Amino acid sequence: MREKLKTKFIEVYGSSDQPIHMYFSPGRVNLIGEHTDYNGGFVFPCAISYGTYLAVRLTNSETVKFTSTNFDFTAEISLEKISEKVGNEWINYPLGVINEMKKIGIPIKKGVELLFDGNIPNGAGLSSSASIETVTAYFINNIFGNNRLSREELAKLCQNAENNFVGVNCGIMDQFAVSMGKTNHAIFLNCDTLGYELVPLNLSGLKLIISNTNKQRKLADSKYNERRSECEQAVKALSHVKKIRNLGVLKLAQFQEMEGSISDKIIKKRALHVVSEDQRCIDAVDALKEADMNTFGRLMNESHDSLKENYEVTGLELDTLVEEARKIKGVLGSRMTGAGFGGCTVSLVKEEIVEEFINVVGAAYKNKTGLNADFYIADVGNGVRKLS
């Protein structure tokens, strides 16, 4: 991988006597706790072995050069002009990070050549964007910041880049997971306090299958921001009964006592999802610790059903993958993962039926939607790092 990327780098930028530095940041899959992070709730993601490689070389010019093996668009931007957004291009993710780093006193001080190379499907809900952001932040911190920022700080900075520069009001989950991930562990994160616990993922005899709908996600960002504002409306209405700072502070029973203050039925459903999902996430982590994988699977199913009925972020493609998966004996649970509106599902399945799963679900999905799904076995890996 590294040698191939190096060869490609030299093909793109030519040779020089400067060393090429290599970095990697993973993608993530969220096991449970969906659309809870920006509500101050719990999430339970893990980093995966797929991700974004970045090759970097310092130059004597005053520009930053951007190339990716995944997108045609390339750019060369002078260090002075680095603060402007460039249309809807992929480089806005690294540009956002470069700007946030500059704001906190870690600017890129010299010209650099950058080659990004990702093997996570883009826009599939596996955090390809957080992966690009984090690998950028990590390299700047490493080369120009003397590794001053901690992994937690890098995660927060990348979230700021996405919120402020790209314009998606995402929560902290993705950036945190790809920064802090650990092989064979999932991260139980309290998004209100950023307190977290690395929980061993003992999947003995089971596999996590990621199924990609391969549906083009249109308007996903704007619908995401819409959900976020619906949750804010719920907090406002509930605060007439008792002042709360976010939905994450409510237990289900408390919410049920107060929900009369929300007159809008849709807003009420959104809040119900968040509050119940938070509890499911806590329960799922307990179940995993007790090696009760059937309960874990049931909670995954309930999570999807709530995302479908109450949060309304699934759609035909995700629902079909989940329904077809659940028909197979040996599937303990199946749900959408990430923001929704397309993207991927994650299923917990017995090892011996993996092949059957891929064949049967793939065929039924094609039949119903006309689309080909892709399947990956999730390998749980480490967070962002320098490759040496």
For ligand GLA, the binding residues (CB under 6 A) are 34-35, 37-38, 170-171, 173-174, 338-339
Kindly tell me the burial class for residue 370, based on how many C-beta atoms sit within 10 Å of its own C-beta (0-12, 13-18, 19 or more). exposed
CA 17 vs CA 20, 23, 140, 288: distances in Å: 9, 19, 21, 51
DSSP 211-261: EE------SHHHHHHHHHHHHHHHHHHHTTTS--S-GGG--HHHHHHHGGG
| Cβ at position 14, least distance to ligand GLA in Å | 37
Strand partners, 362: none
Between 37 and 302, name the residue whose CB sits nearer to ligand GLA.
37
| Cβ at position 288, least distance to ligand GLA in Å | 18
| Cβ at position 175, least distance to ligand GLA in Å | 8
| Cβ at position 64, least distance to ligand GLA in Å | 25
| Cβ at position 330, least distance to ligand GLA in Å | 27
Between 248 and 338, name the residue whose CB sits nearer to ligand GLA.
338
Between 131 and 347, name the residue whose CB sits nearer to ligand GLA.
131
Give dist(CA 279, CA 160) in Å, integer. Answer: 27
Between 145 and 343, name the residue whose CB sits nearer to ligand GLA.
343
Give dist(CA 375, CA 134) in Å, integer. Answer: 25
- Cβ-based neighbour number of residue 295 at 10 Å: 17
Between 38 and 116, name the residue whose CB sits nearer to ligand GLA.
38
User: Side chain identity at 267, as an amino acid letter?
Assistant: I
| Cβ at position 126, least distance to ligand GLA in Å | 9
CA 367 vs CA 116, 142, 341, 344, 372: distances in Å: 36, 49, 20, 18, 9
Strand partners, 387: 22
| Active-site entry in 37, 174, 278, 319 | 174
Return the closest-CA partner of residue 37 out of 224, 310, 237, 257: 224
Give dist(CA 109, CA 19) in Å, integer. Answer: 17
| Cβ at position 171, least distance to ligand GLA in Å | 3
Between 339 and 380, name the residue whose CB sits nearer to ligand GLA.
339
Give dist(CA 61, CA 28) in Å, integer. Answer: 35
Between 91 and 313, name the residue whose CB sits nearer to ligand GLA.
313
Give dist(CA 204, CA 62) in Å, integer. Answer: 53
Between 28 and 268, name the residue whose CB sits nearer to ligand GLA.
28
Q: What is the radius of gyration, based on Cα positions, of the chain?
A: 21
Asked if 174 is an active-site residue, the reply is yes
| Cβ at position 108, least distance to ligand GLA in Å | 25
Give dist(CA 263, CA 260) in Å, integer. Answer: 7
> The tokens of 101 are what?
């780093």
Under DSSP, is residue 93 helix (H, G, I), strand (E, B) or coil?
A: helix
> The tokens of 387 are what?
């490759």
Catalytic sites, residue numbers: 174
